[in-house]
Structure 1
Amino acid sequence: MSNRVTAVGKPVTARKGRVPRMGKSSRSLAGPRPGPLQYLLLIGLAVLFVYPIWWAISSSLKPPAEIIRDPLSFSPGSATLGNYRAMFHDVPIGTGFLNTVLVVAVKGAMTMFFCPLAGYAFAKYRFPGRNLLFGVLMLTLMLPTLVLIIPLLLEMSELGWVNTYQALILPGSIDAFSIFWMRQTIAAVPDELLDAGRVDGASEFGIFARIVLPVIRPGLAALGVLTAMNVYNDFVWPVVAVNDEKHQTLQVVLSTLAQNVTGNRIGADFASVWGELLAAGSIAMLPVLVLFVLLQRHFINGILAGSVKG
């Protein structure tokens, strides 16, 4: 048994029997291991969610007639790339994919740069009208996208941006949800860290770049994945903002694929259309799957970051 003196001068006795074991504590925090039934349930759910992806990819490698005749079976010996070759010949999917990559890169970069700055201002600065301005920003989340299409289209027409990349990139690049997400994430950063940076002479932007950004990295990763998926899957605004083949995104190209196949090939049957649709769909979903697999750990950590209050 040993004694130590606190800051107020009172001795405190430390008992050996009261010292917790780190191993036992870590085991208790980890929680119980899943049982066999839970593993079976998780495996069943995984198969349930993965099977449609496997079916689409495997069916895209089958001859068109076999897709209609026996849609649930797959024989590796009959695998062919004919659907992919025909699809690339009949529709400009390469142009649509390049346009989508450009829009995702530029629009995503604008979202990831400006929205964290706006969220930082709402979370850590005190200025007149802050709550009112943030409330108005939140009210915009209640507006359906279809309500904004006509005003945005008229604005693009006045600016002369119809059928341009500006029309695809700028509207929605700084959105209310991303600002709200960043505001909630940055609000959990202790103010003491920011004060320590100011004491050391760091500028406000330096505090944001060197202190805040490393702390909110999981939230940024989650926002990046959500932004990339939303822009990649966006269909309504691209189909309204552009009507020429040069600026069409991948989702617009996919929506008109069946019409392009039947229009470019005389006597194209229903099976051929299905084969090329599955081939195009398989190519379209691969980038999203790869992105999620690469960033899934950061994405899940970012989603769960606000669930634990510390």
Structure 2
Amino acid sequence: MNKKPGPIVYVVLTVLAVLFLYPIWWALSSSIKPAAEIISDPLGFDPARATLAGYRAMFADVPIGTGFVNTGIVLVVKGAMTLFFCPLAGYAFAKYRFRGREALFGLVLLTLMLPTLVLIIPLLLEMSTLNWTNTYQALILPGSIDAFSIFWMRQTIAAIPDELLDAGRVDGATEFGVFRRIVVPVIRTGIAALAVLTMMNIYNDFVWPVVAVNDERHQTLQVVLSTLAQNITGNRVGADFATVWSELLAASSIAMIPLLLIFIALQRHFINGILAGSVKG
């Protein structure tokens, strides 16, 4: 018989929640404080003195809109490729029997051990050979079908009984029809969890975009954020430390909101998908 958590557990969880949420609250509240108070009174907050001056100045000094647009394009296209091809690859590794399957899957897993920095120079040379530097192709195609996503989907799909798939084939469904009509509905929680992880990875990716793109037209949001202080001081002569911090916090708060909304909307599916993905295949 399962026991209900005691009051000590709820107290500990509440304390942990406050510790995790306080930095977010501090960033959001500080972004609407007068710039001077960020330095003079960093922990205080007076709602009566709230102002959007930092946001207005930030939009005037920093091309954050371009960063959002570019990130949105990469997120939609690259995310769609990941969520379409990786489940298919996972399905093949989980349910098809072919010569060399285990060796090929092991080779895919082996790529997980390679540090990202090891792959940057070969990928950059490849993009240069294809004349894809400073293009959306360079931002989207590398890493769109990755080993972790294939492994995740393989583990999730392996838990589906083979008899269920055979029943679909007996009813006349094609192989892709079995995948679309039977497999996808069963693993939708796993796909939802993969979608959250994929969006977070693409949204927060910095190393590859800063290497593959060096023009402002294709800079993603994280690259724009990394050059915030330089843009602010370059566009405003005599900008002081407090002003720079005010605009940095305003930009960071705006960049934080999309991921928070996505996670809040999909948190139930994400947790269920994590549990489904933990099943041993």
Shared fold, TM over 0.5? yes
Could you say which residue in structure 2 is the equivalent of 1:278? Answer: 249
> What is the letter of the counterpart of residue 44 of structure 1?
V
* Paired residue secondary structure (1:73): coil
Whole-Å separation in 2 of the counterparts to 1:177 and 1:87: 37
Q: Choose the corresponding residue for 1:71, options 42, 57, 72.
A: 42
Residue number in structure 1 paired with 2:138: 167
Shift of 1:40: 1.1
State which of 183, 188, 200 in structure 2 corresponds to 1:217: 188
Q: Supply the distance in 2 between the matched residues of 1:137 and 1:265 (Cα, whole angstroms).
A: 49
Which residue number corresponds to residue 32 of structure 1? 3
Does structure 1 retain, via aligned residues, the 8 Å contact 2:213–2:219? yes
Q: Could you tell me the percent identity over the aligned residues?
A: 79
SS at match of 1:172: coil
SS in structure 1 at match of 2:81? helix
Contact conserved, 2:209 with 2:219, CA < 8 A, in 1?
Answer: yes
Q: Deviations over 1:18-54 (max 9, x none)?
A: xxxxxxxxxx4xx322222111111111111111000
Aligned to 1:178: 149
| 1:152 corresponds to 2:139 | no
Q: Structure 2 counterpart of 1:230, which letter?
A: N
Aligned residue in 2 for 1:49: 20
Counterparts of 1:60 and 1:306 in 2: how far apart (Å)? 38
TM-align CA RMSD? 1.1
String of CA shifts for 1:169-202, please: whole Å, max 9, x gaps. 0000000100010011100000000010011111
Please give the residue correspondences for 1:284-295 in structure 2 after superposition, counting only pairs within 5 Å.
284-295=255-266
Counterpart of 1:201? 172
Task: Specify the code of the residue in structure 2 equivalent to 1:104.
Answer: L
The Cα of 1:308 is off from its aligned counterpart by 5.7
Number of residue pairs the alignment of both structures matches: 281
Structure 2 match to 1:263: 234
2-structure distance, mates of 1:149, 1:307: 31
Residues in 2 aligned to 1:290 and 1:175: alpha-carbon distance in whole angstroms: 25
Residue 281 of structure 2 corresponds to residue 303 of structure 1: no
User: CA separation in 1, counterparts of 2:277 and 2:115?
Assistant: 26
Whole-Å Cα distance in 1 between the matches of residues 80 and 278 of structure 2?
27
CA contact (8 A) 2:152 2:277 kept: no
| Deviation of 1:306 (Å) | 4.1
Unaligned runs of at least 5 residues, structure 2: none
- Which of 93, 109, 117 lines up with 1:122 in the alignment? 93
Mapped to 2, the partners of 1:254 and 1:306 lie a distance apart of 33
Tell me if 1:247 matches 2:218: yes
Change (3 A) 1:147 1:307: closer
